Amino acid sequence: MANFTDEELCIIAIILDEETEEEKKTPKRRKWVYEARQKTDSEGEFLTLYKELIEDGTKFYQYFRMSEYCFNTLLEKLDVYLKKKDTHWRKAITPKERLAVCLRYLATGDSLQTISFSYRLGHSTVQTIVNDTCKIICENLLAEMMPNPTEDMWISIANDYNKIWNFPNCVGALDGKHVNIQAPPNSGSLYFNYKKMFSVVLMALVDVKYNFIAVDVGAYGKSSDGGIFTNSNLGKAIEQDKLRIPRSVKLPNTSIEVPYVIVGDEAFPLKTYLMRPYPRQDLDVSKRIFNYRFSRARRVVENTFGILSQKFRIYSRRIQATPKNVDSIILATCILHNFIKKYDTNTYSYERNETYINGPIDKGLENLRMQGGNATKDAF
């Protein structure tokens, strides 16, 4: 072993100390793709589970809340917009997987973190996929799934309301739904509603077959349904007669001419085009019968919200997103609701209930036998 002088030992100590300081200053290289992401093509849920779902139509429907045919039809319409370019460092996520991630999020309401782990994707990647896919759905399918109504369309809707619910001259049912969201930063009480939660409002006009005719999304939760409708683009368009709703027509089997109307609950103002029920105080028999028939027509919109919430379980949880992204998510679910009803032959269809639709339905506004349920409990 070499013998060093005290001077040489001091020099060696100084050199080693400087090397240690340099190592501390040099930052550790961060991984651009974390380890779980590298296993997407071998262990990700899309790769391992999707093949099994295709072999079982029932499981596929339970997983995506739509049939394989409907999924492929949707993918065909959006493929070109979902496709991303590969890079020198990694392959882009395929349009099919991007659509699967978004639909899984909407169908379950699972957190982005949960989907991130199961699909072996980064949290921010999943968040970007969901937000971008919802915006693409809104931009490219809105015109097809919610086209501008024509006069013939309004007349057809009114005929269906008269045939099915015995309420003539009705061109739609209107109501608002509070969607629970995470409290936006620095928003005060704007989004805080009477249900003691933070929300945005989905204002919807639906037809007799539970399709959305038009929607308005994004109003503050603190606002009333009547105020939201008045200030919405939908309300302004109807007020200014831009939706081409027919003027008036005679009631069936009478010479009385009345306008076509939209039905809503007590939260909405009474207009020539917007009808609400009689106040439930000291009503005579004829007014109670009218309220009962009115309730039958109006509850279609409540049923539509129920179907929407059952289909997309994201409505059963608090949506963790900014208000702007929440609006895109809600609108995307409404578009997909109409899309599934149009293209999915395996889902429940209103037209299938042949006994109910084609059975004997009286045409007059007369008294009906009391039927159960809270909606009709106080009609008589």
**What is the structure's pLDDT at 14?**
74
**What is the structure's pLDDT at 142?**
95
Provide the CB-side half-sphere exposure for 31 (13 A, CA).
Answer: 7
CA 169/CA 137 separation, integer angstroms: 33
**Crossing angle between the packed helical segments 57-64 and 95-108, to the nearest 10 degrees:** 70
> Which of 46, 61, 215, 75 shows the shortest CA–CA distance to 140?
75
Q: Where are the alpha helices (DSSP H) in the chain?
A: 6-25, 35-38, 40-43, 45-55, 57-64, 68-82, 95-108, 112-119, 123-145, 151-165, 225-231, 233-239, 285-311, 323-343, 354-358
Structure tokens at 254: 């009478």
**What is the structure's pLDDT at 212?**
97
**What is the structure's pLDDT at 27?**
56
Q: Where are the alpha helices (DSSP H) in 183-284?
A: 225-231, 233-239
| Residue count (the chain) | 380
CA 147/CA 150 separation, integer angstroms: 9
pLDDT by residue (tens digit) across 207-254? Answer: 999 999 999 999 999 999 999 999 999 899 988 888 888 888 888 888
Question: How far is C-alpha 353 from the chain's CA centre?
Answer: 25
User: Residue 5 in 3-state DSSP?
Assistant: coil
**What is the structure's pLDDT at 350?**
38
Predicted confidence pLDDT, tens digits, the chain (380 residues): 567 677 776 777 777 666 565 555 555 555 544 555 555 555 678 888 888 888 888 999 999 999 999 999 999 999 999 998 877 777 888 999 999 999 999 999 888 999 988 888 888 999 999 999 999 999 999 999 999 999 999 999 999 999 999 899 999 999 999 999 999 998 889 999 988 999 999 999 999 999 999 999 999 999 999 999 999 998 999 888 888 888 888 888 888 899 999 999 999 999 999 999 998 778 899 999 999 999 999 999 999 999 999 999 999 999 999 999 999 999 999 999 999 999 986 554 433 443 333 333 344 434 444 344 444 444 43
Handedness of CA 193, 197, 203, 209 (dihedral sign): negative
Provide the CB-side half-sphere exposure for 150 (13 A, CA).
Answer: 3
The neighbour count for residue 33, using CB atoms within 10 Å, is 11
**What is the structure's pLDDT at 217?**
94
Residues whose CB is less than 8 angstroms from the CB of residue 152 and which lie 6 or more positions away in sequence, other chains included:
none
**Crossing angle between the packed helical segments 285-311 and 323-343, to the nearest 10 degrees:** 100
Looking at residue 350, the DSSP 8-state letter turns out to be G
**What is the structure's pLDDT at 265?**
92
CA 68/CA 78 separation, integer angstroms: 15
**What is the structure's pLDDT at 364?**
40
**What is the structure's pLDDT at 75?**
95
Structure tokens at 321: 């997103």
pLDDT by residue (tens digit) across 71-93? Answer: 999 999 999 999 988 777 778 88
**What is the structure's pLDDT at 379?**
40
247 and 236 Cβ atoms separated by less than 8 Å: no
